[in-house]
Structure 1
Amino acid sequence: MTSIQQTTTKSRVNSAFKQLMSVHWWLAACYLVLFVVGTFMSQLPREVSFRGALYDFHKSIGVLTMALLTWRILVLLRVWWRKYTKRSPKFTPDWFKTVALHSSLYLFMWAVPIAGFFFSNSFKSNNVKFFGIVLPDLFPKNPAMVEVGRSLHFWLSYTFLAFIVLHSIAQWKVVKANWRRISRFVKSKAAIQ
């Protein structure tokens, strides 16, 4: 392999697109955990001993998700800057549809955790922790706003889930390809045992 080929290969491996896709799957995993744990913990009776630990875990993953989302947005802005300073996008209906869907997804990725902070901070001060580290409140304690925060977090979460389904439908080929990869991996691991 020549030095030019090595440089080209190395630049592809370290490309912003690869970074975007890596963070995409980390975010997808975090949101899956948030949805599953959030749905499960909200159904538990208050007497269950590990309910508080689940809430703390849910909030910690929410904070991690916000950090990953911030990194992804910074990388995305860098990619857009490089791409669209060289040439303008083709403003086709498909381009507008894709931008609208992705903009909605980013809005929900941001709004759902912020609504969770609002709900938590309204309920009780200093109760959002990042794996044990108490974070400063973003919103003041306000018992009158607890139900508003709860409803906001709930409805934004499930609207976000609907947009994730739309995104999956729009990316159906990618979903099928990843499903085949996962199926092959599981089958190969099952054959070994």
Structure 2
Amino acid sequence: MSIHWWMALCYLALFLGGTLMARLDRDVFLRGSLYDVHKSIGVLTLALLGWRIFVLLQVWWKKYSKRWPKTSPKWWQSVALHAGLYIFMVAVPVAGFLLSNSFKANNVTFFGLPVPDVFPENKGMVEIGRSLHFWLAYVFLCFIILHAMLQWKVVKANWRRFTGFMRIKPIP
């Protein structure tokens, strides 16, 4: 579960940072640095996703090699939602790579370290990459909200745990 929450924090930073960056004027001093951090966190989430899928496959193998799950409509709903979430976890950063690489070659770094280009530089693909990255991100956010609504008890318990942790207890 810790991978889940690290990724959730990364996605929160990506959504908030992306929304902020898109609204900044081009002449704002830190705009370029914000884009570099955004791209670095995007690369980090892809690495965490690879790790998460590796761990998930191991857990599934141990769990389902002994006994198949009892399928029900609720189980299929959960599988479909999670499959959608995983698809968007890959599609949104790939669309971001399309946007960045189409705009300028060698444009993505991981906190200063160069990341190989996934797509060739192609100015004609910039608008397609921008639209894909934007719309996929917001549909992904809708899936995340749906996931949180379906897991409301867990969200509420974690919120209570977090706010209880943040309270400063008086010294006796």
Taking structure 1 as the reference length, the TM-score comes to 0.87
Report the identity percentage: 65
Query: Which ranges of structure 2 fall in alignment gaps of 5 or more residues?
Result: none
Q: Secondary structure at the match of 1:86?
A: coil
Cα RMSD over matched residues? 1.0
Q: Secondary structure at the match of 1:188?
A: coil
Aligned to 1:128: 108
Aligned to 2:164: 184
Matched, 1:79 2:55: no
How far is the alpha carbon of 1:69 from its aligned partner?
A: 0.3
Aligned to 2:4: 24
Aligned to 1:139: 119
| CA distances 1:99-141 after superposition (whole Å, capped 9, x unpaired) | 0000000000111001000000011100000000111110001
Aligned length: 171
Structure 1 distance, partners of 2:35, 2:114, is 14
Question: Which amino acid is 1:91 matched to?
Answer: T
28, 33, 41: which one pairs with 1:48? Answer: 28
Structure 2 distance, partners of 1:172, 1:25, is 15
Aligned to 1:70: 50
Structure 1 distance, partners of 2:131, 2:118, is 18
Structure 2 distance, partners of 1:49, 1:95, is 49
Structure 1 distance, partners of 2:3, 2:168, is 26
Q: State the 4+ residue runs in structure 1 displaced beyond 6 angstroms.
A: none
Structure 1 distance, partners of 2:157, 2:59, is 25
Relative to its length, the structure with more helix (as a share) is: 1
Aligned to 2:15: 35
Q: Secondary structure at the match of 2:168?
A: helix
| CA distances 1:63-87 after superposition (whole Å, capped 9, x unpaired) | 0000000000000011111111100
Larger Rg over CA atoms: 1
How far is the alpha carbon of 1:187 from its aligned partner?
A: 2.1
Taking structure 2 as the reference length, the TM-score comes to 0.97
Matched, 1:157 2:119: no
How far is the alpha carbon of 1:188 from its aligned partner?
A: 2.7
